[in-house]
Amino acid sequence: MFRDEDELRRLWGAPDTRKALLAGLAERGFGAEPLKEMARIIDAPNSDIFDVLAYVAFALPPLSRAERVSERKASVLKGYTAELSAFLDFVLGQYVAQGVNELDSDKLPRLLELRYASVSEGAQTLGGVPIVRDAFIECQRGLFERVSIATG
């Protein structure tokens, strides 16, 4: 379903390709419950399914969702307005608490409603639906991209 770590990161970092990957895994017998069981077996119950897959396929040590957000939050939120950054920080908090399903594109309206009085008020406050949607997706790419270690 993926050739290497970079392809897994690319697929997992976008809501639509992540959904397709999860559907493909489910078709092969690795739906939500078997993946949760794998997370338990590798002692990563608070990790993302990405980390379970990366551990099984590439022996990468799993990170908890909280560790992933903590490591990448500054770079993921960089460059956004204060309002949009605060919303994305809220989204990341929901991801840590609830899991990767909170990053599904279908959840964006609900997340806006949770943070603001309505979807339209949230979109207006944050600069419009296209800007919010693009930031929501780009934030996820940054959350799962490979972290390069600078050499000195």
CA 13 vs. chain centroid, Å, equals 6
Alpha-carbon distance 15 to 19, whole Å? 6
Q: What percent of the chain has pLDDT over 90?
A: 93
Alpha-carbon distance 13 to 16, whole Å? 9
Alpha-carbon distance 21 to 151, whole Å? 34
What are the tens digits of pLDDT across the range 92-132?
999 999 999 999 999 999 999 999 989 999 999 999 999 99
In this prediction, residue 149 has a pLDDT band, given cuts at 50, 70 and 90, of low
**Is-contact 141 14, C-beta < 8 A?**
yes
Alpha-carbon distance 26 to 58, whole Å? 20
Q: Which residues contact 68 (CB under 8 A, 6 or more apart)?
A: 48, 51, 143, 144
**Is-contact 111 90, C-beta < 8 A?**
yes
In this prediction, residue 146 has a pLDDT band, given cuts at 50, 70 and 90, of confident
In this prediction, residue 1 has a pLDDT band, given cuts at 50, 70 and 90, of confident
Long-range contact pairs involving 67-71 (C-beta distance under 8 Å, separation at least 24): 68/143, 68/144, 69/93, 69/95, 69/96, 69/143, 71/147
Residue whose tokens read 């693009």 = 134
SS3 69: helix
Q: How many other β-carbons are positioned within 10 Å of the β-carbon of residue 9?
A: 17
